[in-house]
Structure 1
Amino acid sequence: MRYIFGKQISLIGSTTGYHQDIRDVLRLLWTGKIKPVIHRVMPLSEGGCLQNYT
């Protein structure tokens, strides 16, 4: 979690589940066994309209 806050990364997902599930997913991320999929990178100046982007 310290890495996520330090890099100002957003982690978006379900708010339901167990703490152990979150720890398991974070461990998979840290070890490189799963990688986030970045669909698109857009300029911060377009941030307002991106809230409705799907």
Structure 2
Amino acid sequence: MRRWSAQAKARLIEATLKPGANVSAIAREAGVATSQFGTVRNSVREAGFVIG
């Protein structure tokens, strides 16, 4: 099981929130299931968190 640091998670989520970002490609490059990545991304957006 892979463990991600908080900084690594934030960088990945931040990359997906950029206009025109391809979530599938970012998830694939990170070795994460697209559905799992999308769920986390949506939760972050709905909570109103600002990363960066």
TM-score w.r.t. the length of structure 2 is 0.36
Write 1 or 2 for the structure with the bigger share of helix: 2
TM-score w.r.t. the length of structure 1 is 0.36
Larger Rg: 1
